[in-house]
Structure 1
Amino acid sequence: MGDDDAAWVRPRGRAWGNEAQRAVLHAIAEDVARRTEHKVVAIEALRSDGFLEFVAIAGDEAAREEMLGKASPLALDHILTLGVDLDGWRHIPNERLDETTRTFLDQYGHKPDVPASGLPNGWDPDDQLVRLLENDEGELRALIYLDEPLSGLRPTPETVAAINAEAGVMLEAVVSIVERELYGEQVRMVAQARRAIESVRPGLGEEQFLAEVSRAMVEAMAVDTVDVISEATEVPELEDERRHVSELMRRQWRRRGHLVVEREHTWGRGEDAIETPPSLTRIMDTHSLGSGLLVPIGAGEEYLGTLAMGRAIGEPRWTTSEIVAATTVAGDLARLVLESRLMERERALNAELRGVADYRRDMVFTLAHELRNPVSVLWTHLELLADEADPELRDESVHAMDRAARRIEDMIEDLMALATADDPERSTPRTRVDFSALVRESCQFQATTAGLSGVELEVDVTDDLLIVGEVAGLQRLVTNLLSNALKYTLSGGAVRVTLAPERHEQRDGVLLTCADTGVGIAPGDLESVFKPFYRSARPEARRRPGTGLGLAITERVVSGHHGRIGVESVLGEGSTFSVWLPLAPPDAPRGAA
């Protein structure tokens, strides 16, 4: 409490205990007043959120109407520094109060409308006699105030000794009741919540587990709604303020606190009230809630999500013990959330390992199948050569063996290129490449093949488009796309290659397109064209030679250059492959031009 505290904000009230517990404490306050010969006795209980709350006031109906259930910050400095110690009690004479303390007491306390006694050593209406009630471990549990002594005199060591003798047992009872409220209700709620959690079947993924836990807990606990929300959970009513609310909960996790949400104000642990965010008000309106309790779920420094509990309009306010219980349950949920995440990672890893095993099996099977034909050709013609005397037939066998050997060689080169493109630890020099010149050269190299096939090759390339990359990989990329287009385009058709600047996701880049009027790709084949060894089952495609590795290599080269590749096709009309690659930054190292 300092001089800069211009505005005093009262914390959330009526958050401690139930009516039965309050009634017992009121009876104790009345008994203490009678035994100690004071007109007024007030008891403040310490709540789990760090605030004090008046839970019993005896002997002053005006004070009871004004103060009962009201909360205040845990500010003991004025008691400890201004008070005079009297056998466990602190007497704070009026003349020792400073202006800051008077302002605080005016805001959070009650001054009786009675005159000073006028007696020597007489009691003043601004005097205070207070005792801090602690448990056996020295932990503060409550404060008790005695006011308006019937004698009209200030306390002395003798009168305080008499007070302790008369009220000592009562003071111990106050501590016991406050602790029982704190721990008894907490144990009951935690047990209910844990039974609900245990009823959820094991082995669920995180989101499914959280949904099941939410349903189980709302049935087991005395609340109207329970939602266990992870950072990834979509809450439509919250999206406009998701970042703001998430930051509020992250701050609460760092403080190991919570938020109590009511329609107008929201309170955090040991914090002044803030205006309730509109998104939280909308959620309460949607579910007809009067209040909510938000407890962060976390582990170490990591915020994982929120345990959100709601009560209907008109239902009791959240008590200290409920908040403590919810905090304990949130700790249990954090452990289970981490276990669910670990299980999901294990499942994903197992699926990935199964995928790798399947991929290897398919690779071996496909490779064996693809090698069988050329190897069979080699063996067949070797046998023919051993028995054939006719030179012309021997030459035909040699040519057939040459074609088979070349096919095997092409397959080996493609396999090596695929392995190289797939190697995450492979480090190749990246330099600034004149991609415009590279595309033109590749087209010129393929122009003869296009002419012999009766296919028109159109080229439209913007000059001086520079990218950063590996020259060999980029050459293979362009060559694969162009040779594929020429291979599947019939005589009389056309292949068009274009290269132009293109922005993608706020980044400057280049767009390479290779469009043909060939046989096209069936819709069912489109999603598989970039898989290794994939060949369409259609006869028109099968008649063209190939290893099924070209497009797989192309896709990996594009990915390795932080680009994207796509394909559009209409069966019988042709296909268009599009490749976007980022432009070279000005400071990129120079290389191929």
Structure 2
Amino acid sequence: MAFDETRPSSSDHTGWSDSSARAVLQLMVESVAELIGFEIAALSVVLDGDLVTVAYTGPDEYRDYLMNAVDPVSVLDPVLERAETWGRYRFLDADVDHVELEGHWVMVAPDRSDHPDSWNPENVLIGLLAGDDGELVGVLSVDQPVSGRRPDAAQRDLLERYAAQAERAVLTAFEREELVHQVAQADAARRLIRSAAMPAQASVEAVLVHTHAPLVEGFQASGLWIEMFDGDERHRGHACDREREIIEVPDAIVELARAIAPLLWAEQQVFVMGNEPAPAADAVLPGDLVDEAVQYTMAADLDRVLAVPLGAGAECLGLLVLTRNFAQPVWSSVEQASALEIGHDLGAALLTARALERERGLVRQLQELDDYRSQLFATLSHELRTPLTVISGNLEIVGGLAIDDGAKVFLDAMGRGAERMQKVVDDLMLLARVTHPRHPLTRISVDLREVAEDVVTLLDSTAISKGLTLDVHLDDGPLLVLGDPAEIDQLLANLVSNAVKYTPSGGTVTLSVRRRDDDVEVRVADDGLGIAEEDQARIFRAFYRTENPEALSEPGTGLGLAIVATVVERHGGRVEVDSHLGQGSIFTVTLPGA
């Protein structure tokens, strides 16, 4: 009997943002079923007290019924009360202990053999995945063994190893999900600060007032204090709690802020109190200032404090202090880095309130570049971890077995994981290169006719293997643009490969390149899955993937169209999409002609 985390009764959990982690977890359950010998395997994670199915392999007729389905964790209780313990697994032998299970469980194999060890269709075999604190984080369930019998000792050993791998993969996915959440919160705070703090006529006081709510909400703080330094003048009255109740700040603490902030700004550090281990800023602040800050914090009954310098260029303009109580989480490294970036943003806002429009625009542009680059690098480091889980897990399996004819299956699984990881790394490195301000565009004459022919040659075999028709229409003569040949080649390759990927067998992909007055137009059309209207405004963002289940079933990094948009922008062109769900898509790129 297989666990059915059943009908999609709640949509609150299905928007789990990390589609790449889902892909790795899907590969994990496929490996369990294929390598250990089960017809069905499913992986569920615990989200807000519910079990949500995020990966499944088995008969297609159960896929739509199971994927993203939700059930309370309590449906496991009858099994856990009576089941036999097999390491991480719990086995409920229906021949010994028949239980009328409540909740949503489904019998998937009504027949069984007469062998003494034959598998009873009502048996339950689930692996419990736990975090470092022992709390349940997920369930790996298997059913319908290919042999028709209960797993033997060797299979049980392999099941235990894969449960350990799945546990690590789920914990890594949750860790990355928390990173995404923190970055999203910080992004929202930055956007709100810019919209609130950048009006043309804003005064310093107006900026300080209008940034209160975005900072408190974006960082889930219990209070904040902003101290602005402007010669001998002070801009006070902005120390307050979450309910905006004004708190008087003693002069001695203001003087301490004036001493600490320039040192932090010079070293681009934040100062944290209430976190363990001690913050890196301790190394840049004299011991007497650290001791004084700790004393004031204790006297004010503050639990967790994050002090962020505000400035622009070489000038320190003030200090931002955010507070939390001990019931709230410690200040994470992502939040500290984001707060330091906001120190730049808010410092720029304070400075540009009294500066020329040209200077304000330059600061904003530079900060946007810094924001994007820091997010990219943070995501890169975490994106590499989940594919490595698959590789290391399979290496463990291969290391524990004698190499024989069956080793090819393991090597294939490793190859799939390595191939995905390499694709992610390659795309990230390309995106980093084309967005880096120190990588100027090298413009030479590029013939789009030649580029299109090369791309078609590369992808034609893939299209044929899928049963697709690949039509090509090129204007006569050279089709010249000025730009980087490698980037333009990647632009066309991404558009055509996407069309091939998301067009089912029997469909048609059309590539046309033609002159349009002084421009050259590239048009890639398909009659494939199409893109929902609500997704079209976001498909050019890095790592964004639609929630369309058919599209998510195809492997991808969510970087291809982000690279397309960036390359088009660097070349002074534009890209447009016209698509309808279920009717196909048309991507049109217009580049200035040479």
Report TM bin, short chain.
0.3 to 0.5
TM-score (norm 2): 0.39
